[in-house]
């Protein structure tokens, strides 16, 4: 509770009282457990006397039943809502009129005016006029609450990015930097228009409780972002924005906090001019039995390409191409794709990697090598 008196030396009729309305808490109880079959009877007597004088019905339980109003201003954290009760008390023996209350919250960058309903009010002697005001804290650093009243006398993340294939995995590490236990109510990724998101979560052992984050604890959240249009990989330049991380939490007695990050950016993989995508391949094949590999070639450049497929037999000769080499794939305009199939003859058993696909642009005479594009298990 803060009592604001006049800045001038003159005796003022009104006093401004400010109390932060953090959520009320349950008062501490003098916890003790006693023998339920104590042969002396003293424990039961002492127990009932303690209950009688404290008003609590039980002292063997970890928590009491009495709410207690906030006693201190305490720290407030980014994303929480600062709520306070401001009261104008007429400490004098004469009434005052035209009472206007003005409240502002000054931060390091700005001065935020807060809406006050105490305007042109009349306060009789010994009476008071006040209101509850709330403001969401969006800045870190010191905040100064400035209250003024005039009248006439009558007389309160680290983001790491990982990517594989078309999917983007976002790992968010959320740390509780406050001094209180925190229950994460929501940690969601609001995806940008190009993605759909799935949350990869681990379930707690004791499912009756929420997601607890103790002070200084760090919890990792993993999200998988998949492009909505899987085939529109050519437009990857538009896929840099992946979305916003939105989280909300509660601390003691339901005190709420919420934070939303700005749009998170990913570094788009550089595909170069062309991108080879394996569309279909068996995961397991039998040795000395040919199988087929379906491929798709994208023109990721901004010019037309005249493509030729060359197949280079790997030196280890574990997989042998049975398709002709030097085949023309034709002209491919920008942002278009062409499909082709390869027949492969597996010779050795084990996990074998498919390499040796060479694409040549006959217009620019550039070669594009594609190795280790897929693996198959040969049994």
Partner 1 sequence: MRVSANPKRYMLNYDYAENQHLLYWPESVRLKVAKNEHKKIMQYTMPGVKDEFMRSPIDLRFQETFNKFFGQNDFEMNQKGLVWFIKKGMLEATLNGTTDMLTWLGQGKDKAGRPSELTQVTMELWTLRFELLINLRMHAQLLAELAAFEEMDAPDLFYQYSSTEKTGSLVPFNLRLIHAESLRFSPFPWKSLIRIEQLWTTVETIVAHFRSKNAPEKHISDWEKRLDTVKCLYVRVLYELGEYKQAMSFMENIRIGMKSVEEQVIVSRAMMRMAMQAGDEKSMNIYAEKANQYNSTANEMVLHKALRSIFLGAYSHAQDYASRLQSANYSTPQSINTRAIVQLYTGNAVSSVETISQIKPLLAGPTTTNLKTLAELCYSTAAKDELLIR
Q: Between residue 317 and residue 346, which ones bind partner 1 under the rule CB under 8 A?
A: none
d(C-alpha 144, C-alpha 36), whole Å? 54
Taking CB under 8 A as the criterion, the residue among 49, 196, 280, 303 binding partner 1 is 49
91 binds partner 1 per the rule CB under 8 A: yes
Assigned token pair, 177: 């930097």
The interface region with partner 1, picked from 46-54, 166-174, 273-281, 365-373 by CB under 8 A, is 46-54
35 binds partner 1 per the rule CB under 8 A: yes
Query: Which residue carries 């003691």 as its tokens?
Result: 252
CA proximity to 263, closest of 193, 176, 196: 193
251 binds partner 1 per the rule CB under 8 A: yes
CA proximity to 281, closest of 226, 335, 311, 319: 319
Least separation in angstroms between residue 358's CB and partner 1 is 57
109 binds partner 1 per the rule CB under 8 A: no
Question: Per CB under 8 A, which of residues 193..222 are in contact with partner 1?
Answer: 206, 208-210, 212, 214
Is residue 33 within 8 A of residue 111, CB to CB? The reply is: no
365 binds partner 1 per the rule CB under 8 A: no
Sequence-distant (6+) residues with CB within 8 A of 247 are 174, 184, 186, 187, 188, 258, 259, 260
352 binds partner 1 per the rule CB under 8 A: no
Number of other CB atoms surrounding residue 189 within 10 Å: 24
Per rule CB under 8 A, count of chain residues that contact partner 1: 75
Question: Per CB under 8 A, which of residues 117..176 are in contact with partner 1?
Answer: 126, 128, 130-132
Taking CB under 8 A as the criterion, the residue among 12, 73, 78, 89 binding partner 1 is 89
Return the number of the residue (2 or 379) whose C-beta is nearest partner 1.
2
353 binds partner 1 per the rule CB under 8 A: no
Strand order in 284-285's β-sheet?
Answer: 284-285, 374-378, 350-354
d(C-alpha 377, C-alpha 379), whole Å? 6
Least separation in angstroms between residue 178's CB and partner 1 is 11
233 binds partner 1 per the rule CB under 8 A: no
360 binds partner 1 per the rule CB under 8 A: no
Assigned token pair, 195: 């993605």
The interface region with partner 1, picked from 164-172, 243-251, 274-282, 321-329 by CB under 8 A, is 243-251
23 binds partner 1 per the rule CB under 8 A: yes
Residues belonging to the chain: 379
Number of C-alpha atoms within 13 angstroms, CB side, residue 193?
2
d(C-alpha 88, C-alpha 90), whole Å? 7
SS3 52: helix
Least separation in angstroms between residue 9's CB and partner 1 is 19
Least separation in angstroms between residue 122's CB and partner 1 is 15
115 binds partner 1 per the rule CB under 8 A: no
Least separation in angstroms between residue 136's CB and partner 1 is 13
Taking CB under 8 A as the criterion, the residue among 5, 6, 45, 160 binding partner 1 is 45
Least separation in angstroms between residue 2's CB and partner 1 is 10
CA proximity to 74, closest of 180, 225, 150, 3: 180
Taking CB under 8 A as the criterion, the residue among 5, 6, 32, 229 binding partner 1 is 32
CA proximity to 294, closest of 259, 329, 338: 338
| Neighbour-count burial of 201, counting CB atoms closer than 10 A to its CB (0-12 exposed, 13-18 middle, 19+ buried) | exposed
The interface region with partner 1, picked from 104-112, 188-196, 245-253, 296-304 by CB under 8 A, is 245-253
């Amino acid at each position: 509770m803060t009592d604001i008196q006049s800045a001038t030396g003159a005796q003022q009729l009104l006093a401004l009282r400010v109390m932060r309305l953090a959520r009320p808490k349950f008062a501490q109880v003098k916890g003790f457990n006693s023998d339920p079959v104590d042969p002396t009877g003293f424990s039961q007597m002492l127990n009932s006397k303690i209950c009688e004088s404290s008003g609590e019905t039980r002292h063997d339980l970890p928590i009491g039943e009495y709410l207690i109003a906030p006693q201190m201003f305490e720290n407030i954290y980014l994303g929480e809502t600062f709520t306070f009760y401001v009261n104008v008390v007429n400490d004098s023996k004469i009434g005052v009129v035209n009472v206007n209350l003005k409240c502002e919250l000054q931060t390091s960058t700005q001065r935020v005016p807060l809406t006050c309903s105490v305007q042109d009010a009349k306060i009789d002697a010994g009476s008071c006029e006040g209101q509850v005001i709330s403001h969401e804290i969006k800045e870190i650093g010191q905040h100064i609450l400035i209250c003024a009243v005039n009248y006439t006398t009558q007389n309160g993340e680290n983001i790491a990015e990982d990517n594989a294939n078309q999917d983007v995995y976002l790992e968010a590490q959320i740390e509780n930097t406050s001094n209180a236990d925190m229950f994460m109510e929501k940690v969601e990724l609001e995806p940008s228009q190009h993605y759909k998101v799935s949350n990869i979560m681990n379930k707690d052992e004791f499912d009756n409780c929420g997601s607890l984050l103790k002070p200084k604890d760090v919890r990792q959240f993993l999200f998988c972002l998949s492009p909505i249009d899987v085939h529109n990989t050519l437009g990857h330049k538009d896929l840099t924005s992946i979305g916003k991380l939105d989280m909300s939490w509660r601390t003691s007695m339901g005190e709420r906090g919420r934070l939303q990050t700005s749009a998170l950016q990913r570094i788009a993989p550089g595909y170069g001019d062309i991108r080879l995508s394996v569309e279909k391949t068996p995961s397991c094949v039998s040795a000395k039995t040919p199988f087929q590999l379906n491929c798709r070639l994208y023109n990721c450049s901004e010019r037309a390409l005249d493509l030729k497929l060359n197949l280079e037999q790997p030196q280890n000769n574990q997989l042998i191409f049975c398709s002709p080499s030097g085949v023309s794939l034709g002209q491919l305009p920008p942002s278009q794709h062409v499909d082709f199939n390869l027949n492969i003859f597996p010779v050795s058993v084990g996990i074998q990697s498919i390499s040796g696909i060479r694409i040549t642009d006959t217009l620019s005479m550039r070669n594009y090598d594609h190795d280790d594009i897929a693996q198959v298990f040969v049994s």
